Structures are given as C-alpha cells and as structure tokens.
C-alpha cells in the first residue's frame, strides 16, 4: 500500500465517522511529512474543499449584510444554510449545518499575506478587498501587503514588482499607502493570494524566479485568469493591429468598465503602461502556450495551489457586462462574466479546487460601487462576504501547517 493510499483511507474513515478534530490533525501531519506527496490524495483534496467551505460559512454568518441578503432569499433555512445556498455553488443545506471544530487560529506571526490584484487595479471606483484587507490587519489576524502591480502592464513587468514584494516587503499597505524600501520589512514566508490577472502574474513570477519558491508557502487563485479570458481575446483583437491611439484605448477600457477614464489613473507609473501587452498576456492562446511550456516547472516547485472560482448568470451581472456573459455562456454556463471555470482553475497535481462561488467576477473582490454608478447599472452592490473568504483561506493554510 502506498503512502497516498494510506492517507486516502485515513481521511475517508475519519470523515465518515465525523471525527473532524482527528482528521484535521492527520491531514496536518501528512502535509508536514510531505506536502508534495499529499497532493496525490483525492480524499485530501476533497477534505480541503469541504473544510474551506465550512470555515467560510462559519465566518460568513457573522457578516450582517451578507446574511441579510442570504436570508432574503432563503429565509426558511438556518443562517448557515442560507449563506451556503446563496454564496456557494454545489453545496446543500445539509452540508452547511454539519458541525466541525472551530479553527484554532489566532493570527499569523511569521507569514505575510500578499495580495496580487488584477487588470484595472486602481482604475475602478473601489479597490479589490478595499475594506476586508485592512480589517484583517486591524483585527491582528495577519500582516497584509498589496503587491504594487501595474493595472495595465504585462505579466513579466508585474512579476518583477511581485518579486520585490516577496524579497523586500515593498508594495502597498492594506490601506493602499505606498511602502518603500526604507519602511519595508522583509517577509520571512508568504501566502500569495492572486485575483484575476494577478494569478497570471504569479505564475510568471514562478517561472522567472523559481528561487523564491521556498518563501511561498501556498498560493490561492481567486477568480484567476490562469487560462486567459475570451473577453480579453475580443478586446485584444481590436487593439493588436492598431497604432497607439488614446481615444481607442479609452474605448477599449470603457468596454470593460465604462466609468473608467484611462488618462486619470497611471500618473505615478505612466511610463510602465503597456495595455496591449497586458491584454495579450490574458489571451487564451498566450496563456495556453505559457502553461504548455511551464506547467511542469511550476508544479515541480512543490507549492500547494488552491483554486476558488466564480459562477454567475447573465441576469446577475452589470448591464454593460451582459453581452460578454452571454458570450461565455455558450462555452460554460458557470462563467463569472470574465472567465470560464476551465480558464479560472490552475490544473496540475499541486492544485486543489476548493469551491465554486455564486458571485460574478467583481462581486468576489470589490465592495459596492458608488450609488451614482449603481443607478446606471444593476448588480454593482457586490454583497459577497469577502472578509469571510479571506479569513477562511488563511485559516485553511494555518490548519494545514502551511502558514504560521
């Protein structure tokens, strides 16, 4: 019997018996023994998914706004079931009400949480996790660093900025204040949490700087664009054969977010703007070729990767995203309005799928947009409980022994 088969058997037996406390201990011991070999265990992956959902539900019921949204639709269900049914796909009320031990987590002392934002970072009316990340830090749960990735730059350029965040602690604070080298504190270990194009930037970093792998304890792909985006394909096809034209660039950005104005944003790093390259790096063909060339190298670094993807319907997205969502529906009915499930999930042995969330691409990360904008388009209120998702991810990493 192989070691992988043994952990499979242990997980199955303990899960079936409801001995979750012991199961948590066994899985942590297995990860400490060999965090690469454990990834071959299907039962381990299944447990990680169930545990993340359980932790998420436990935190989400404490979010009064999210709970109110959930109860409005599922008022006859328990609070836990209502939250699960509203914000998780493929999860039923019975699972939501299963009692598991609370995570014995207080805070991360030696591991820095580095957030890697996506395309248009800083160009939209709010930032990704604008309230949630500062709250995590104010609550003493972890130290947060936002990688200072350019909103309209290619992956290789952004990989250099991400490397500086990992090596030096340079970037932006949770509250989005610039952290320069004089004020920076070098991280000992890091969790990378990538959103959208931020995941493609992370993967590029791993190829360019495999020497940093020992510092990276795990990676969370949050609505990641590891496989590119068909929406990016469409925009890039318009831009690729055209000379630089400010008006055309404005139109391209407006097709993704009509209230964003390109000239007003990248003043601090105007010279780094390379919108064609940024979009090219998000095309399906480019990302597919990248993974064909580098998947083995990335997998062999032995860094656990956790996938969390979004799922919505065309009737749940902002009106100006409706056409794109309908286009993606022809490919995958569980798209998040920007990427399909296949594009969003990193697919390799070191990767584990944790959950498909009921939220569109922006709802997963952005707070409510200003009321003036929401009056012109529905579904910009973004009720998804973001802090609960971040905390569940940190708790899972801690519980698995991947962060301390």
Does pLDDT of 399 surpass 90?
A: yes
pTM given for the model: 0.94
CA torsion sign for 15, 21, 27, 33 is: negative
d(CA 145, CA 116): 9
For the chain, what is the mean pLDDT?
92
pLDDT tens digit sequence for 215-262: 999 999 999 999 999 999 998 988 876 665 656 556 666 666 666 655
Q: How far apart are CA 56 and CA 109, in angstroms?
A: 22
Query: What is the 8-class DSSP label of residue 370?
Result: P
Per the structure, the complete domain to which residue 189 belongs is given by 111-231+273-399
pLDDT in the model for residue 1: 31
Average pLDDT, integer, range 293-303: 98
The rounded percent of the chain whose pLDDT value lies above 70 is: 91
- Top mean-pLDDT range of 26-30, 239-243, 371-375: 26-30
Count the Cβ atoms, other than its own, within 10 Å of residue 1.
Answer: 7
Pairing between β-strand 171-172 and β-strand 178-179 as defined by DSSP bridges = antiparallel
C-alpha distances out from residue 370 to 126, 131, 152, 312, 376, Å? 8, 14, 23, 22, 11
Query: Residue 308 sits in a domain of what CATH number?
Result: 3.40.50.1820
Q: Where are the alpha helices (DSSP H) in 240-314?
A: 246-256, 275-280, 284-300
- The confidence score (pLDDT) of residue 302 equals 97
One domain for residues 76 and 140: no
- Same domain flag for 222 and 357: yes
Same domain, 42 and 187: no
User: How large is the angle between the packed helices 246-256 and 230-239, nearest 10 degrees?
Assistant: 170
pLDDT tens digits, 282-295: 999 999 999 999 99
**Overall number of domains in the chain:** 2
b/e map of 222-240 (b: 16 or more CB within 10 Å)? bbbbbbbbbbbbbbbeebe
Asked whether residue 259 is assigned to any structural domain, the reply reads no
> Cβ(108)–Cβ(142) under 8 Å?
yes
Both 123 and 87 in one domain: the answer is no
């Amino acid at each position: 019997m192989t070691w992988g088969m043994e952990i499979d058997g242990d997980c199955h037996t303990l899960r079936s018996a409801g001995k979750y406390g012991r199961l948590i201990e066994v899985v942590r011991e297995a990860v400490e023994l060999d965090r690469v070999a454990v990834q071959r265990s299907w039962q381990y992956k299944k447990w990680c998914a169930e545990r993340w959902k359980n932790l998420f539900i436990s935190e989400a019921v404490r979010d009064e706004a999210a709970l109110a949204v959930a109860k409005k639709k599922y008022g006859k269900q328990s609070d836990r079931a209502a939250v699960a049914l509203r914000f998780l796909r493929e999860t039923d009320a019975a699972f939501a009400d299963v009692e598991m031990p609370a995570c014995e987590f207080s805070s991360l002392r030696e591991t820095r949480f580095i957030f890697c934002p996506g395309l248009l970072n800083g160009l939209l009316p709010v930032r990704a996790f604008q309230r949630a990340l500062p709250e995590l830090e104010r609550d003493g749960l972890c130290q947060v660093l936002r990688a200072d990735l350019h909103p309209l730059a290619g992956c290789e350029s952004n990989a250099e900025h991400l490397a500086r965040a990992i090596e030096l602690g340079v970037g932006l604070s949770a509250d989005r204040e610039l952290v320069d080298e004089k004020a920076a504190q070098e991280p000992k270990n890091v969790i990378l949490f990538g959103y959208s194009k931020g995941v493609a930037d992370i993967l590029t970093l791993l190829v360019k700087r495999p020497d940093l792998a020992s510092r990276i304890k795990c990676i969370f792909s949050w609505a990641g664009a590891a496989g590119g985006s068909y929406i990016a394909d469409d925009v890039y096809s318009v831009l690729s054969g055209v000379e630089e034209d400010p008006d055309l660039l404005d139109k391209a950005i407006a097709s993704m977010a009509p209230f964003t104005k390109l000239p007003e944003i990248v003043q601090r790093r105007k010279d780094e703007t390379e919108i064609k390259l940024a979009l090219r790096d998000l095309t399906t063909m480019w990302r597919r070729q990248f993974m064909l060339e580098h998947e083995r190298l990335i997998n062999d670094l032995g860094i656990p990767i956790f996938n969390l993807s979004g799922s919505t319907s065309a009737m749940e997205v902002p009106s100006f995203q409706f056409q794109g969502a309908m286009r993606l529906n022809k490919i995958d009915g569980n798209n998040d309005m920007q990427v399909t499930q296949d594009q969003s999930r990193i697919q390799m042995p070191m990767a584990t799928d944790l959950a498909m969330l009921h939220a569109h691409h922006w709802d997963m990360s952005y707070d409510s947009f200003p009321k003036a904008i929401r009056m012109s388009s529905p579904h910009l209120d973004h009720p998804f409980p973001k802090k609960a998702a971040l905390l569940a991810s940190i708790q899972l990493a801690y519980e698995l022994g991947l962060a301390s």
